[in-house]
Homo-oligomer: A and B are copies of this chain.
Amino acid sequence: MYTFLVVDDSSEAREAISDILSLEPSFYVIGQASNGKEALKFLQNRKADIVLMDINMPEMNGFEATKQIKTLFPDITIIMLSVSDDVQDFFEALKLGAQGYLVKNLEPQLWLDYLRSVATGDTPLEKGIAMRILQEFTEGGGKAQQQKEQFHSLTKREREILQLVAEGYTNRDIACNLTISENTVKNHLKNILQKLHVKNRVQLARYAAEFKNKGYPL
């Protein structure tokens, strides 16, 4: 039996993550927090085995929170969450004592596989697994690369459209701008929403902003 604390500023994300965790009978989400401060407060009352910690949060970000939690409760396992698979963030997370790093927008099954291996300690998770998971989604790693392709990888056109959507343009604007039909824009958009597991264009804009913030190419 493993207890989880989910820390993310988006209540939606927390719900989504909790939903995924509930698929594994031995996983129990015992709390949620919307920023690092709340997470610390929570842990002072009740300890969790594993903390899933988003990086970008108001008040206190995931890095700072990880540092402090690790100082106070060194035996808590912390897995950092991010929408990007940025290598810098990944190493930063490990440096501060996190045991892992999970890229959002992955298949629930992958989350569970990964978290099970972290929880049971079956695998030498010291860095190996986390690293492997990351690598699978950064450099072209054979079969895993296909999964990335299948998953996040937007096509060139999709990226163009994502960018315009994120700037607040309507589908018609975009169609006009790219001189294609509005239907085509809608089609691309549908695919983008599906690929990135978000529900609407505002969330898409947030997604794009998070990437842009890190200087990530999108």
Binding site for B on A (CB under 8 A): 9-12, 58, 163, 165-170, 198-203, 205-206, 209, 212-213
Interchain nearest-CB distance for A203 vs B (Å): 4
Q: CB < 8 Å: which of B12, B199, B203, B206 contacts A209?
A: B206
Total identical chains: 2
- Known contacts A209-B209, A213-B213, A168 near B58 by CB under 8 Å: no
Contacts of A11 in B (CB 8 A): 167
Contacts of A203 in B (CB 8 A): 167-168
Contacts of A213 in B (CB 8 A): 213
Q: CB < 8 Å: which of B9, B198, B202 contacts A202?
A: B202
Contacts of A200 in B (CB 8 A): 168, 170
- Known contacts A58-B212, A212-B58, A202 near B10 by CB under 8 Å: no
- Known contacts A209-B209, A213-B213, A202 near B58 by CB under 8 Å: no
